[in-house]
Chains A and B, each alone.
Chain A
Amino acid sequence: MPIGWYLVVSALIFSIGAAGVLVRRSPLVILLCLELMLNAANLALVAFSRMWGHEDGQVFALIVLVVAACEVTVGLGLIVAIYRRQLPIDVDDLRELQG
């Protein structure tokens, strides 16, 4: 199978993730969409790695997984903290950092 299809799928998933991040307002869903974007990138990396017959891409994919795990931990922790302080679970309402 040519590599192009893998990349198309990867791009599709990435776009869905990006669109989700931009459109949805719940932080939980945004986090999920971010995971989608990361995994789309992973897919592309693994595909390229296979194409070149080189293991660098696989290693990168593993690193991305680790980073994603960390990011989810922090992100979920933030969401729990927001919930506990009874703040709205809506990123549009959390805008105290405006200039």
Chain B
Amino acid sequence: MAPTTFGWLVLLCPIVGTVVIGLGFRRLPGRSPGWIATAAIGLSFVCAIGMLLALLNRSPAHRQLTSSLWSYANTVGVGANLEILVDPLSVFMVLVVSGVSTLIHLYSVSYMTSDRGYTRFFAYLNYFVFSMLLLLLAGNFVLLIVGWAFVGAASYLLISFWYRRTTATRAGIKAFVINVVGDVGLVLGTFFIFTHTGTLDFLKTFAAVPQVFHHNSTDLVVGCLLLLVGAFAKSAQIPLHTWLPDAMEGPTPVSALIHAATMVTAGVYLIARMHPLFELAPTAADVGAIGGCLTLLIAGTIGLAVTDIKRVIAYSTMSQIGYMIMGVSAGAYSGALFLLMAHAFFKALLFMGAGSLIAAMAGSQSLDRMSGFRRALPFTFGCFIIGGLALSGLPPFSGWFSKDDILAYLDHRGGGFEILGILGYVGAILTAVYTFRIIFRAFFGEPCPEAKELEEGHLAHAEVPTNPQTGEVEDTDVGFPGPEHHIAEREWPMKIAMATLALLATVGGFLQIPGVDDAVRRFLAPSFAGSRLAAAGPSTGTDWVGLLIGAAIAGVGIAVAYRVWILAPGTSTRVRERLAPLYELFVNKWYFDELIDFAIVRPALWFGQIATTVLDRALVGTLVTDGTVGIVRAGSAAVRRAQTGFLRYYAALMVLGITGVVIYFLVSS
């Protein structure tokens, strides 16, 4: 079969899953919706492998294929087809997304068991995977925008999955609104490019761009900056990042799937996909690289201070995506996409571990309350250690090969990028410290009551279920988390999912060992064939130097964390007191929420109030509405007197009127 046929099958499986689960939600018994969903995504992954094999059968020069099912609109100058583009880049992304999604579905089968919205959850989850795959396989801007908006909608549905929690619904709305800002950026950026190239098709656009734009032309830079707005909103980069930490209100598998492994990497994919545009508009690419660098630093510092375990991991996600955005913007495509893959493995693993921890804590997410889970949750502990080492970038884990590949490229490219590379190393220290802060605080030290209970073989149970954010009392009916919690130690589907990811996080890095196999770079090469930057990578020797520096820095970070939280507990309190203003800044997330509130939300509210009081009530209300009503009322009052109700009076009027008309015509003729 042709690779594109597999591509259509990849899209078909999850949408069929969604429809089956969505329609059968009353009839499907027990855990069957979960299994159907897992099977659908698993099939999708199998088809993705088929797509990969079919693509590898072709010579490297012929690995970009498009296939169009039908045409939406084909008018003057606009050709919008339902068209997919299968090339190494999209195949790579589809493999990562469908593979990790399968494992997370498997995890959710157990994790969500006692939730009353079980079926709805899997219908949403399958719908999300479909949207994400549509985004990745889209062969033109129209389908890309459709997929882009679909994943935003799916993200909204899943963040506010526990819809009776006000915190969750608010977080969902926030995520949706910020994502719509990104959608608008994407659409406008598309328009800027379309007006010049006259085509929406990706391959035709890339072919036309060098002809119609000169280097760094204003329209192209503006178009690329608008695309960046889309990428930044979807990938939670500063200043459009505030929705991601709040998105942790969703169930933990959702955080693992959407807000760590797949959706938030869509921005990275977008920039990689649009690399011919960005390379012609270096100004926009520089903005992207600087934005990514800022994000990775700021998110890293916040990760040091916040105490909600899921939010720490969320800030870590932001920070890692900062690396990727910085990488793809600067031209380190294969490194960034490699980090995307590795990150999907270890971050999903960390979230799954966090889910297990939260379950053991009976729903509580605060690091302040967790400690000493090492013996109570040995399997989760092992997975967390592997995920943490990979995230910190210690050899030979996947994070090491990938992240430090990007940094080596930046240092090699020189100029301003060298500064970004050095800041990236600073971020790497932060990464190692906050990662091991979680591990040391949650797993080491004196066991907390919940851990002790679990060591005696009994899973902690909250007396009254409460919202971990606000402490509000909840029930366990639909719209709230279910009554039972599930830990990986006792559920084999969770265990398999986590073990597989742990394995991948460990050995995934061997896909691209500089100078040895370079599999990712060589596989992706056809997609970046025309790229000047992709060809100008560092030599193998420089790459290895970068890797070794990275490993040393990660080691330093872990040592610092060990010193602070194990050797001399209490150091963190002392540091916090000494650097109180800095701590305040970090723990308040650099006041971005307040800043956006002050700069955008308040003025908008204020303008809205002005609009209701002045424009609506005073202007429209009195002048337009009351004025019209007055005129009609006065007119009808005048005419009403003619309506006496006497039949003969009407008849007389009619006779008079007709007589008058007749006389008029007789006289005038």
Contacts and interface: CB of A to CB of B under 8 A. Distances in A.
Interface of A: 18, 21-23, 25, 30, 91-92, 94-99
Contact of A94 (B640, B643, B647, B651): B647
Given A18-B655, A22-B655, A97 B648 contact: no
Given A18-B655, A99-B640, A25 B648 contact: yes
Given A98-B643, A99-B642, 9 more contacts: A18-B655, A22-B651, A22-B652, A91-B647, A92-B648, A98-B644, A98-B645, A98-B646, A99-B644
14 contacts: A18-B655, A21-B651, A22-B648, A22-B655, A23-B648, A92-B647, A92-B648, A95-B645, A98-B644, A98-B645, A99-B639, A99-B640, A99-B643, A99-B644
A99 B647 contact: no
Contacts of A92: 646-648
B641 interface: yes
Nearest to B658: A18
A30 B648 CA distance: 9
A9 to B, nearest CB: 19
Contacts of B643: 97-99
Nearest to A90: B647
Interface residues on B, range: 10 to 19
A18 B646 CA distance: 16
Interface of B: 639-648, 651-652, 655
Contacts of A23: 648
Nearest to A23: B648
A96 B646 CA distance: 9
B649 to A, nearest CB: 9
A23 B228 CA distance: 86
Contacts of A21: 648, 651
Nearest to A18: B655
Contacts of B641: 99
A97 B644 CA distance: 8
A30 to B, nearest CB: 8
A18 B662 CA distance: 16
The 3 closest A-B pairs by CB, nearest first: A99-B643, A98-B645, A95-B645
A77 to B, nearest CB: 17
Contacts of A98: 643-646
A99 B643 CA distance: 5
A35 to B, nearest CB: 15
A49 B82 CA distance: 72
Nearest to A21: B651
Contacts of B640: 99
Contacts of B651: 21-22
A43 B527 CA distance: 94
Contacts of B644: 95, 98-99
Nearest to B659: A18
Task: Determine which residue in B639, B643, B646 has the highest number of CB atoms from chain A within 10 A of its CB, and name it.
Answer: B646
Contacts of A94: 647
A44 B642 CA distance: 33
A96 B644 CA distance: 9
B643 to A, nearest CB: 3
Contacts of A91: 646-648
Nearest to B648: A22
Nearest to A91: B647
B646 A95 contact: yes
A58 B647 CA distance: 32
Contacts of A97: 643, 645
A95 B648 CA distance: 10
Nearest to B651: A21
Nearest to B652: A22
A16 to B, nearest CB: 13
A79 to B, nearest CB: 13
Contacts of B639: 99
Nearest to A24: B648
A4 B31 CA distance: 100
B496 to A, nearest CB: 82
A18 B639 CA distance: 25
A67 to B, nearest CB: 17
A99 B639 CA distance: 9
B639 to A, nearest CB: 8
B32 to A, nearest CB: 68
Contacts of B645: 95-99
Contacts of B642: 99
B285 to A, nearest CB: 75
Task: Determine which residue in B639, B642, B647 has the highest number of CB atoms from chain A within 10 A of its CB, and name it.
Answer: B647
A5 B655 CA distance: 23
Nearest to B641: A99
A79 B479 CA distance: 66
A44 to B, nearest CB: 13
A41 B540 CA distance: 111
A3 B391 CA distance: 113
Contacts of A95: 644-647
Contacts of B647: 30, 91-92, 94-95
Nearest to A99: B643
Nearest to A37: B655
Nearest to A33: B651
A8 B408 CA distance: 115
A18 B640 CA distance: 26
Nearest to B643: A99
A28 to B, nearest CB: 13
B423 to A, nearest CB: 82
B428 to A, nearest CB: 86
A9 B240 CA distance: 92
A91 B640 CA distance: 20
A98 B645 CA distance: 4
B381 to A, nearest CB: 87
